[in-house]
Each structure stands twice: as C-alpha cells, then as structure tokens.
Structure 1
Amino acid sequence: MKNHILFVSTLCSKRVFEYIRRNSTDKSGQAIQKFHQLLVNGLAEQKNNVIETSTSIPVTPKINSKKIFRFKAEKINNIHFKYIPIINLPIIKNLNILIYSFIKVLSWNLFNGKKNNFLICDVLALSNCIGAFCASKIRGLKIIGIVTDMPGLGVSSFTFLESLKSRIIHYYLLNFDGYILITAQTNKIINPKNRPSIVIEGFVDKTMETHENTLENKEDERILLYSGGVFERYGIKNLMKGFMLLKDTSIRLHIYGSGAMAKEMPKYMELDSRIKYMGVVPVHILVERQVKATLLINPRPTVEEFTKYSFPSKNMEYMVSGTPVVTTLLPGMPKEYLPYVYLFKDESIEGIYEVLLKLLNIPKIELHSFGIRAKIFVLENKNHLIQGERISEFIKNIK
C-alpha cells in the first residue's frame, strides 16, 4: 500500500528557489532549503512513498517588492511540488497561506482516502503549519513536526511579532503525533507527552561520494573557511581575532554567509588583509570551495543556550566535503562524531589561535587523511537515503 506524505514547508524546486533568490534583497535561506530537499529526496527514494509538497515560498514584503507570486506545479524526481499562491502584503500574506494550507490538507486527504496519509510539517513555517495542523485534527490525520531550531533562541532582534510567533509555536508544538528532531535535548522541551520521536542530526548528500577531495586540487594558498550566519553570537569575532594572532602570511580566512556582522567585515579586512568576506554564494559554488580549502571552521560558542537544540547543518556539510573540520564541542553533537572532528576545547581568542596554529603545523597528508575519514563516516551513516529510510520506518509506526 502506498504511503502518501504531504510535506508542509517552504521547500521549493531548485528553479523556483533560484528565481526567488535572484529577486530578493536577502540571499540567505539556502541551508534550510538544502536540509528539506535532502529529507524529501530520501523519502522519495523509499519504496511505496508518494511525496507531495504544500509550499509557502520564502518571500516577505521586506525582501521582495513583487506583490503576487504564483508558480505552476512541478514533478521532479518523483516529488510533486505544489505552491501556495502568495499575496505578498503584511498580515494578508500570512492569512492567505494559513487558509490555503487548511483547505489544501482537507482536499488532499479527501482525494487520497483515510489510510496511510501523513503530514510532515516544518514547525517554523508558521502560517503554513498552523493551517495544516488544524485540518489534520479535523480529519484525524497523523502529523509529524520537524524541529530544526527552538523558537525564541535565534540571533535576530526579538520584536513583538517574533515573540508572538514564538509563543504560538510553543503552544502547538506540544500537540503533534510525532517529532523529527536535530538533537536529543530538544525532545525534553517540546515533547512532555512522550510522543514518538526520532533524532537525525541532519543529512549528507549521497552523491558527494563521487565528488573527489585531493591534495592536488587544493588551493595554492592555505584557506581556512567558515560558512554560515555572520553573527558575533556564532563566534565570528573571536575566530577573526584568533586568526589575526597567526603570523603565517600564506594563510587566508574566508568567511561566507550573511548576518549582522557583515557590515563590520570591511573593518577586519582592513586590519588584516588575509581575511576575506565572500558574502553569499550558491550552494554548489560553496561546496567546491569547501573541497579546496585546508580547514573548515565552526567557532559557535557552547555557552549559548540555543546550541543545545541545534546541530548545525554546516558540520555535516563540512564533513562530507572531505576537508578536515575544527569545531567547538557543541552540546547537541553526539559522541559518535568526536573521532572525526578537531575541537576547540578552549573557545577564547587565545584558545582558537592555539588550535589553529597546531593544526596548520600538521603534515598535509595527515590532515587530509583525517578529513577523508570524516567524509566516509557521514556518507556511510548519515546519507540522505539512510536517513530517509529511518524516517519512513518511523512515521509508518506512529499510531
């Protein structure tokens, strides 16, 4: 019997997302698109799964001047992408998505019958998820929430609307039939009723098996690379200051991403010409540059509360590149990863400097071999097909 899965989120096809990205002032959002795409691809590869999306495209009046968005349905690799028409005006957009999502779930369920229908919802896609959630309760559908972050623990300024959104999410979070989680710690907060849950950390793309990482193809300069949110709270300032203590003129620090500290980058580049802020680039270009780098760095401080509830997708993306990773000892990172990453045990400026200095003095072949072992580990244990199979079995067993 077929398992019909409706995936409720902001996931777009590559074509649609590139269109939105080109016409938006904010170029971020690629990480969550990649996460959801790998999840859906993994599910679609499993026998008897029929995947359809109910997509609220990631646009807002603040970053997109266009007022009406309509995209035709698409079928790509056994995934049916269906998009909610958007009226891109404050409040109206959210009501538009909520009502459409509610009707969409009701009609989808009526069309497919009552058996073996599952909703998987990104709980942070608030309007889309609330509409789907309400419809699921009316129809008695099983609804599973994907929790990639804890609302209220992010890095953006916490406005009244964001506070209200966080309260709403916390309220309905407690009433899903199951949860797909990034860290085990999250379960203690959002699942007091002890509903079924599965911890996946994330996904790596199995096609990276064919993407070679060789010493011969490395950049001539030794590049230390960071990609992700450019926020002081993510450890960027300490990383740059630690790097600046290194005397080696042949090394470079390349920073990719967007965030509040982006406007401060010119100051640091002027203080140290070895630091380069590269902005936001398409995912495929970023992957190529990660493969050619010497070290990939995640300096996220472990004292921050939000690190308990997030396993940065960048760590897995880093590891599958085959380039060695140095990271802080994040509370949400399981022990099975520890043999495959280098650690900043001291997260101070001096601590970061000392670890980087030590790693840069390791012979190239040894450093490269360490990175390749990490790549093999995540490909063998965390690729999107294996994770897709785990999630498929999980949702089928939800009563």
Structure 2
Amino acid sequence: MTQRPLHILFIGSVIPDTPEYRTAAFSRAGNLAQQGLLAGLDGAGADITVLAFQPVPAFPRSPRWWVSGQRLPGPGRREQRLVAFINVPYLKQVSLACALLIQCWRQIQRGVPQVLMSYNVNTFTSAPLLLLSRLLRLPYVPVVYDVDVPGATVPDGPLQRLEYRWAARVLPLLPAAITGTALIGRELMPGRPTLVVEGGLGPAQQAYAPAPRTSGTTFDVVFAGALETYNGVDVLLDAMTWLPTHVRLHVAGQGGLRAAVEAAAASDDRVVYHGLLDMDGLRGLYARGDLLVNHRSDERLDSRYVFPSKLIEYLASGLPVVSTRFRSLPEEYLPFLEVLSDESPRALAAGIERVMAALPAARMKARQAQEFVRTHKSWAFQGRRILSFLETVVL
C-alpha cells in the first residue's frame, strides 16, 4: 500500500442523473457505472480529480452547437469539472480532445497524479491521456467497458470504424486496464495485466429491492433497459403469445423498438409500457414484479466485449431472473439464473413457465443471488479491488 492516498486523474462522461443533464445520448447504465466506480475508489481511499463531458447528440440532432463547461460539486474527496466543446460532427471530437488536454494539463500543474484513467478509450479521451502519459511518464490505465464493434453494437460508419481501430491499436500499448469482460483483455491486450470488473452495485440500486410478494392475481414479468433487438425486446413481445393469460409484461426504457412496444401495449392489455423511469419509478416497477428478464442476444450482437450491467441490478432486486447465456457471462453468475436453452420466444416462454411452476425455489435462489451481488459486486468491494490493482501498477 502507498503511504498517501493514490492521486487519480479521471476522464469520463459522468454527470448528475437529473432532467437538466439527460439527453438522447445519456446512458443511465454508463453513468451509474462511472458513479459507482468513482464512489468505490473514493471510499477505498483514493484522491480523485474528474474531468468529464456531457453526453449530447451532435448538431443538428441536438439544437445545441455549443456545450458550455462548468464546475460540479463532487462527493467525498472528488473535484469534478465538465469541459466545453463544439457540438458539431467531427469538430466535436477535435474540440473535446483539445479541451480535455488543456484541462488535464491545468490539473497536473496543481499536483501531478500518480495514475491517469478514462472511461473507455474513445479517441478524444484516450489521445490526450496517452500523450500526457508519454510526456510525463505516468501510467495510463483505462476502464474499458465498451469496445463497440462496427455493424454490431454501433452502425458501420467511418467514425465508428475509426474508433474501433483506435481502440485495437491503443490498448496493447497501455500498461494495464480494468475491463468489463475477460475477452477484452485476452483478445485486445494479450500479455498485459487486466482486472475484470464487469460492473457493480451502488446504494441506489440496492434500494430497488422490493418487499416479497405473497399473492396476486397476475404474474408480472419486468424488463427495464434499452429497447433494442440486442436486448431481445421483440422476443419478449412474441413470447407473450406462448404464455397464460394471467401473465403481464411490464417494459421500461427507450430505444429503437419503442414504437413496437407502444403498439403491443395498445393492442394487448397484458403488455404495459412505462416509458423511461427514474430511480423511484424503477423501484416501484420492481416492487410489483414477480420475475425479471435479461435477454441479451449473442445471435444478434457481437457481445464479446459487452457485459449487461443491468444484470447485477436485477439480481440485487431479490426477484428471480431469466437470462440468456451470452458469451461475456461469467460462470459465477450461472447458479443464480434461470438460463434459457436458446434465444427463441418459445424458449423464453418456457423459462418463465419453469419459474412460475417452482416459484418458492426460484425465490430462494433469488435471495441467494441478492446476497451474492451485495457481497461480491458492490462498488465498495469493487473499489478496493481496483485500488489494489492500480497500486501494483504504480509500484
């Protein structure tokens, strides 16, 4: 252990989860991951300075061509600033890289950090840190949760291909990384030390745990997340045709399949669409649920480099969870899930019916899952693991 708190300079996109900061580019999963990571490191004793940018769709998808910077209050020992940038395609990335480089340099003048970190390795965040790392001989250790594969997790456009090639070239040059899946380390950073931290559980997510339900005239299935094909939202809707009439499907979130969900809710009173919910809304939705569905697709998404952090939140709820067995799913999760045989609507319906038929046993498994994630996946626990890993890199 070092004699003084480890000083970390962190670049990310973490913002307050309040209406004034939420845009179409806002990802609650990514924001929660960064908030939890920073809180865990802070609680473990690190000294953290945060430079961040607000996720905003580029002009003209957003009417804002300029996004102002500001200073934000940080909990614990954290200091946080949002940088300003030009919100026009391509100029956006260049202006962000310049702004982050300038602000990083100003922070370094106030006190040289021992570790440079970023959330993912986008060109505009990792390029400034890579330059500073080389100039000042400081270790740069990113947290890599998203390596988007063009044509799979993102469109196959020139900017997306550039970002993927950049990540593939930069990661092998770095001394170490915290990764969201084991395959990121094995395939993109062979021979480099990595620590797999697929996500974590924050205090707000632990508060999602509902009181146990003892009776009800309906069996309520819940999905909360991005309304996209890779999350099997269309499969969920199709599975309803195989399920008994007392089963209800509750869907919350936003995304490309929102119109399909709204149409299903309009034509079938067993389907309920709740829109994009805040923390209190999610807590209420989970409280009325009997079962949660995590249908991350391996057939429609190259999921090697993606772990659905929502799964940790699901397990923390204390409700039974039905899930696909996607490639990035660690073996340690399997005992706590009702794993589907395949990704078809019929297999999903069969998985839900198995839980319904053995509900006491499923609820006992759910309580064991809740204890597992609270003990081994809390951000307090993960923060201590990450800090110990960073100290080995520094030393």
Q: TM-score, normalised on structure 2?
A: 0.91
SS of match in other structure, 1:280: coil
Matched residue count: 388
- 1:6 corresponds in structure 2 to 9
**Aligned with 2:307 (options 292, 306, 311):** 311
For 2:217 and 2:249, the matched residues in 1 are separated by: 14
- 2:48 corresponds in structure 1 to 51
- 1:395 corresponds to 2:390: yes
- 2:259 corresponds in structure 1 to 263
Alpha-carbon distance change, 207 to 32 in structure 1, aligned in 2, over 3 angstroms: closer
Cα shift readout 1:216-258 (whole Å, capped 9, x = no counterpart)? 488764321112221223322222111221122x221112222
Larger deviation: 388-397 or 167-176?
167-176
Q: What percentage of aligned pairs have identical amino acids?
A: 22
- 2:343 corresponds in structure 1 to 347
- 1:68 corresponds to 2:64: no
For 1:40 and 1:219, the matched residues in 2 are separated by: 40
- 1:132 corresponds to 2:96: no
Alpha-carbon distance change, 208 to 226 in structure 1, aligned in 2, over 3 angstroms: closer
- 1:272 corresponds in structure 2 to 268
1:10-29 equivalent positions in 2, closer than 5 A: 10-14=13-17, 17-21=18-22, 24=23, 26=24, 28-29=26-27
1:28 and 1:257 in contact (8 A); partners too: no
For 1:34 and 1:219, the matched residues in 2 are separated by: 32
- 1:88 corresponds in structure 2 to 87
Q: Which runs of 4+ in 1 moved over 4 A?
A: 206-212, 216-220
Cα shift readout 1:79-98 (whole Å, capped 9, x = no counterpart)? 21111123323333322210
1:151 and 1:170 in contact (8 A); partners too: no
- 2:138 corresponds in structure 1 to 141
For 1:393 and 1:289, the matched residues in 2 are separated by: 37
- 2:282 corresponds in structure 1 to 286
Larger deviation: 309-318 or 387-396?
309-318
Larger deviation: 318-327 or 125-134?
125-134
For 1:18 and 1:117, the matched residues in 2 are separated by: 35
Alpha-carbon distance change, 258 to 366 in structure 1, aligned in 2, over 3 angstroms: same
Cα root mean square deviation, aligned? 2.3
- 1:336 corresponds to 2:332: yes
Alpha-carbon distance change, 126 to 293 in structure 1, aligned in 2, over 3 angstroms: farther
- Gapped regions of structure 2 (runs ≥ 5): none
Amino acid at match of 2:168: H
C-alpha displacement at 1:124, in angstroms?
4.6
For 2:265 and 2:209, the matched residues in 1 are separated by: 31
For 2:381 and 2:81, the matched residues in 1 are separated by: 26
For 1:218 and 1:162, the matched residues in 2 are separated by: 49
**Aligned with 2:375 (options 368, 373, 380):** 380
2:153 and 2:302 in contact (8 A); partners too: no
Larger deviation: 138-147 or 206-215?
206-215
For 1:37 and 1:294, the matched residues in 2 are separated by: 29
Cα shift readout 1:110-147 (whole Å, capped 9, x = no counterpart)? 3213xx61111122543123222222221111111111
- 2:78 corresponds in structure 1 to 79
C-alpha displacement at 1:361, in angstroms?
2.4
Q: TM-score, normalised on structure 1?
A: 0.90
SS of match in other structure, 2:140: strand
Larger deviation: 384-393 or 139-148?
139-148
- Gapped regions of structure 1 (runs ≥ 5): none
Alpha-carbon distance change, 27 to 257 in structure 1, aligned in 2, over 3 angstroms: farther
1:242-261 equivalent positions in 2, closer than 5 A: 242-248=239-245, 250-261=246-257
SS of match in other structure, 1:82: strand
